[in-house]
Structure 1
């Protein structure tokens, strides 16, 4: 019975790796939408809301971390060497930390939007919606990275 358990864990890790890669694509796409929205609103309104998460580039650099941690989670299913499991653990811990920083930035941005006394116009409403979607995908990455780290450590230590 202990022989089948690590195989089941590795297959589930591969699924979570795919989830991480899809999350990375969605986060990057939301960043591209932000950039497009900002450029359109500057041309149309002359002045627009510039999001904090887009200013620090979170959708762009975080998507690289999410992608690499997902790739390593998929590769560890095929070749479960000790060093590859170690790299997968480190990358997913880093991905978790990046997502945590992103959640702090998103929370800060949503709180600033809520505290604003300006009458919300369409660009602000659209920006808030994109920020909320970014928050949802960041929470998904937090969860996926945590689960992958837990399962890799469990498989590595035979528990």
Structure 2
């Protein structure tokens, strides 16, 4: 065996057209949905990030509720209204659940999970509206009685600033949560957007 025959290249020549029907190419067509606007496409792509933001808002709301428990100073005549309503605790559960549904929906999209996510985000949006009303009412009700009826305490000003700051932060988190939940409860994730795996 000489070296010329061992390394000779092999050329394959294919005919320009294959006439056998099993080898003919199939034309694929794609339909575009022009009804979706830019914001809806962006929100659908960032579902996992917005779900994580909802979970973080839920954890922060719960943490501020725990802080409320430790800011009570004697002679405080009653618990703050926002603690009596329980909003930092049930609101945080709603936020965490709606965020978890969004993350699950992004990972595996099914028809039932789409419906459950939309319902959970709607409930979370309604909980956010109730939370905003409760926070405004609590701020108006408790702002003069944060340290009780006696203002002789040396830490009264610090407690007042902390209390009002927490209420403002809760208001910001609740408002942002309202907008995120409202977007997903109205637009949601359609089967063509989320690439339904098992419908």
CA distance in 2, matches of 1:111, 1:8: 38
CA distance in 2, matches of 1:90, 1:37: 36
Answer yes or no: is the 8 Å Cα contact 1:58–1:102 preserved in 2: yes
Could you tell me which residue of structure 2 aligns to residue 2 of structure 1?
Answer: 32
Could you tell me which residue of structure 1 aligns to residue 185 of structure 2?
Answer: 149
Could you tell me which residue of structure 1 aligns to residue 15 of structure 2?
Answer: none
Distance of aligned partners of 1:9 and 1:2 in 2 relative to their CA distance in 1, 3 Å threshold = farther
If the length of structure 1 is used for normalisation, what is the TM-score? 0.80
State the shift of 1:145 in Å.
Answer: 0.5
Gaps of 5+ in 1: none
State the shift of 1:115 in Å.
Answer: 7.0
Gaps of 5+ in 2: 1-30, 194-199
Match of 2:79 among 36, 50, 60: 50
Deviations 1:22-76 (A, max 9, x none): 00011001001111112xx23xxx3366321111111011111110110000111
Could you tell me which residue of structure 1 aligns to residue 89 of structure 2?
Answer: 60
CA distance in 2, matches of 1:110, 1:145: 24
The count of aligned residue pairs is 150
State the shift of 1:108 in Å.
Answer: 0.8
Higher relative contact order (CA 8 A, sep 6+): 1
1:97 lines up with 2:126 in the alignment: yes
If the length of structure 2 is used for normalisation, what is the TM-score? 0.66
State the shift of 1:124 in Å.
Answer: 2.8
What RMSD over aligned residues (CA atoms) do the two structures have, in Å? 2.7
CA distance in 1, matches of 2:64, 2:122: 23
> Aligned to 2:46, what secondary structure does the other structure show?
helix
CA distance in 2, matches of 1:145, 1:47: 36
